[in-house]
């Protein structure tokens, strides 16, 4: 473990740290430059007596942060900040997170814990494949690897042939990437006769997208690696909020830096262990953008507050199933693309390149699942079975269209899973 003291704190210690951190953050926010401080005018930090009191505080939403563009939500002076990252803004005004030196150190610490949790040490050579820049992925891995003492190959996004060449020639042992990117690497490897078994690669740390267990299994087999699911948002300080561990028993959230809650998206009420809902994050140590009860829109559940097999005591949540934004409602049924992916990828003859196309036909929703074939494709019998499985899960019939490899456009960055042609109301 990178920080074995902090990562194995007893539950009572964690709670003490969280209450103190929450009070401190509230006090700091109330006296800050943030325009959001008004929300806490009538709240006295010292009135927070237990973690249970957290639920008395108001939520913070992405829309509130967007209204603050560019810097009105930043708690300190911009001249006290060292730099910034920014959400993609593909679905509206972007959110900027300006970071102090303290924030960057905090980020390095939690990312180093994540890399260490994935089995990396200072002996590893990590190739960083998310882009470096406004997107936080590249720099997050960079600072974590620097803190841990790995050798960094700063490849950035794209150029898959070059990525493979470097993995092999530089004897790279680990990669960090956007979750859908390994599918592309595997495809290019196959086209060019590249064999992952002739490399020293053993770990792939993947995030920034929802990815199914079946996809995971396939990546692990084809790349001959162990994968780790890493999570984080621009708003909470970037990638590194949590990661799953070798015990594969959920994603540990670093609780000395964050409080996690799961709430009912509709009612806003906290949900008990095991219940699926929206993840809400409170930051305890962030300075540029401290957040109280930030609604992440990510869907997860609390798995356990008990000590994990890996020795870590920090809470475990389930892998993220999707974002509330990604949730589809077709013919009145709610589901996430990752759930369809999970079913598709049980079939060896189907590839991880798929799209769900939804349109209105004669006033009714119709969904077509376009999926590329892999290997020798899928037999008629398998196709019928898939159809049954999908119907079983969705409760309505969708059209399955198996297309040749390469049909779906390969895009840099996050994959496009949904093409919704329905008229928006």
CB of 123 to its own copies, least distance (A): 6
- Distance between alpha carbon 236 and the CA centroid of its chain, in Å? 12
CA angle, 150 then 156 then 160, to 5°? 110
51 binds, among its own copies, Zn ion, none (CB under 5 to 8 A by kind): none
CB of 172 to its own copies, least distance (A): 11
Closer CB to Zn ion, residue 148 or residue 308? 308
57 binds, among its own copies, Zn ion, none (CB under 5 to 8 A by kind): none
Closer CB to its own copies, residue 133 or residue 395? 133
Q: How far apart are CA 293 and CA 60, in angstroms?
A: 6
Q: How far apart are CA 257 and CA 107, in angstroms?
A: 10
C-beta neighbour count of 70 within 10 angstroms: 14
CB of 227 to Zn ion, least distance (A): 15
CA distances from residue 122 to 15, 202, 247 in whole angstroms, order as listed: 31, 15, 22
Closer CB to Zn ion, residue 184 or residue 312? 312
Contact positions vs its own copies (CB under 8 A): 69-71, 78-79, 81-85, 96, 98, 122-123, 125, 131-134, 138-139, 145-146, 149, 151-156, 169-170
Residue corresponding to tokens 């020795």: 311
Rg from Cα positions in the chain: 22
Largest CA distance in the chain: 66
Alpha helices in 192-249 (DSSP H): 213-223
Closer CB to Zn ion, residue 117 or residue 172? 117
CB of 198 to its own copies, least distance (A): 16
Closer CB to its own copies, residue 87 or residue 313? 87
Q: How far apart are CA 223 and CA 203, in angstroms?
A: 9
416 binds, among its own copies, Zn ion, none (CB under 5 to 8 A by kind): none
Contact positions vs Zn ion (CB under 5 A): 245, 247, 308, 310, 312
CB of 157 to its own copies, least distance (A): 8
CB of 145 to Zn ion, least distance (A): 21
119 binds, among its own copies, Zn ion, none (CB under 5 to 8 A by kind): none
DSSP conformation letters of 20-62: HHHHHHHHHHHTSS-GGGGGGTT--GGG--SGGGGGGSPPB-H
247 binds, among Zn ion, its own copies, none (CB under 5 to 8 A by kind): Zn ion
95 binds, among its own copies, Zn ion, none (CB under 5 to 8 A by kind): none
């Amino acid at each position: 473990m990178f920080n074995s003291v902090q990562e194995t704190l007893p539950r009572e210690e964690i709670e003490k740290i969280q209450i103190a951190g929450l009070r401190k953050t509230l006090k700091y926010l109330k006296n800050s430059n943030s325009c959001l401080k008004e929300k806490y005018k009538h709240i006295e930090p010292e009135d927070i007596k237990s973690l249970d009191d957290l639920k008395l505080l108001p939520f913070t939403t992405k829309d509130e942060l967007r209204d603050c563009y560019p810097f009105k939500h930043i708690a300190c002076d911009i001249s006290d900040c060292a730099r910034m990252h920014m959400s993609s803004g593909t679905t509206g005004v972007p959110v900027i997170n300006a970071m102090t030196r303290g924030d960057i150190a905090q980020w390095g610490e939690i990312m180093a814990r994540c890399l260490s949790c994935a089995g990396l040490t200072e002996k590893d050579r990590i190739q960083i494949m998310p882009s470096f820049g406004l997107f936080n992925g590249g720099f997050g891995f960079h600072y974590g690897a620097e803190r841990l003492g790995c050798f960094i190959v700063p490849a950035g996004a794209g150029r898959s042939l070059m990525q493979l060449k470097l993995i092999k020639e530089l004897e790279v042992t680990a990669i960090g990437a956007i979750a859908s990117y390994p599918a592309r690497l595997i495809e290019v490897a196959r086209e060019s006769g590249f064999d992952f078994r002739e490399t020293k690669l053993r770990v792939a740390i993947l995030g920034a997208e929802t990815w199914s267990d079946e996809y995971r299994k396939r990546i692990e087999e084809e790349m001959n690696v162990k994968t780790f699911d890493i999570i984080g948002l621009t708003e909470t300080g970037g990638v590194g909020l949590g990661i799953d561990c070798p015990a594969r028993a959920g994603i540990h959230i670093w609780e000395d830096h964050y409080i996690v809650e799961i709430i009912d998206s509709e009612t806003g009420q906290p949900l008990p262990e095991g219940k699926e809902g929206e993840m809400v994050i409170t930051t305890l140590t962030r300075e540029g953008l401290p957040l109280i009860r930030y609604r992440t829109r990510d869907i997860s559940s609390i798995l356990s507050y008990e000590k994990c097999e890996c020795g870590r005591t920090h809470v475990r949540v389930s892998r993220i199933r999707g974002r509330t934004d990604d949730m589809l409602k077709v013919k009145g049924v709610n589901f996430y693309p990752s759930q369809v992916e999970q079913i598709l990828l049980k079939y060896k003859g189907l590839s991880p390149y798929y799209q769900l196309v939804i349109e209105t036909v004669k006033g009714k929703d119709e969904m077509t699942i376009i999926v590329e074939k892999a290997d020798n494709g899928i037999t008629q019998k398998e196709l019928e079975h898939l159809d049954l499985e999908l119907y079983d899960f969705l409760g309505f019939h969708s059209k399955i269209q198996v297309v040749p490899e390469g049909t779906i456009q390969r895009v840099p960055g996050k994959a496009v899973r949904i093409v919704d042609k329905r008229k928006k109301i």
